[in-house]
Amino acid sequence: MKALTIFGLVLAAASMATGRVSTRVCLADANTPFEFADPNIPFVYRDIMVGTKLKIVVSSDANGYWSGDLAITGQDTDYGLLSARDFNESTQDWAGSRLPAAGDMARVLDWEEPTVKGFTFEGDRSAVAGDWFIIDYTATNVGSCNVAFYNRSVSWFDPIYYLTFSHVPTRDFSGDAKVDFTNFAVLASYWQETTCSNLNWCAGTDLNSDSNVDLHDLVLFADYWLERTE
């Protein structure tokens, strides 16, 4: 039985795509690449506001079967959220997150445990090189979040790398998904306020949480001028 099991694992490994499977992070339009904090350091991305939505695309430069995962574990689940698209009752998977290049029998499945939230990807042997899967990422709280990327042809237990996102307080005070004059007007309405508290930090306009809305907050606000959260 042990020999059969080993033989089966070897066969499965041999049938997997032998090319490079990787991730690409984009803005909410799923086309514009999201920038690294430092171009020389891969997988560590520039700061985003709480509420910002990004897209994580899993791609391959080869044909054939592949499986892997994207997951957030431990305390990082307090800061970021992964979500998939269009659950299909018939196939019991997230059909909207599997792309045509992954093959007709590809699947995207929930992966959820007490300290893990993510998705498992199962490609098809008919998969062709290209974009295979897409997952949505949302910054939910101020802090840092690491998203683990697993390639089961490399390891079933250890991620091959982490995507690291850092979240700062939102400048979208009005909730209209864009930092513009509407939000500037909200900040201006609290200008020179000196009694902001952690109940809401003056509707979020006290960006450095020092109880005052002043020039320091205006500079922080301007850093994200005309940026969109989705």
Percent share of the chain, pLDDT over 70:
92
Q: What is the mean pLDDT of residues 161-178?
A: 95
Q: What is the mean pLDDT of residues 182-195?
A: 93
The reported pLDDT for the residue numbered 227 is 93
How far is it, in rounded angstroms, from Cα 39 to Cα 18? 27
pLDDT exceeds 70 at position 194 = yes
The reported pLDDT for the residue numbered 32 is 93
The reported pLDDT for the residue numbered 13 is 37
Amino acid identity, position 5: T
Q: What is the mean pLDDT of residues 29-51?
A: 94
Contact 63, 129 (CB under 8 A): yes
The reported pLDDT for the residue numbered 2 is 33
Amino acid identity, position 80: G
The reported pLDDT for the residue numbered 19 is 66
The reported pLDDT for the residue numbered 17 is 45
Contact 60, 126 (CB under 8 A): no
Nearest to 23 by CA among 46, 47, 57, 67: 57
pLDDT exceeds 50 at position 141 = yes
Percent share of the chain, pLDDT over 90:
79
Angle at Cα 140 formed by Cα 89 and Cα 30, nearest 5°?
60
The reported pLDDT for the residue numbered 5 is 32
What are the angstrom distances between the C-alpha of 128 and each of 13, 44, 58, 175?
17, 28, 13, 40
Which class would CATH give 2-168?
Answer: mainly beta
Residues of each domain in the chain carrying CATH 2.60.40: 2-168
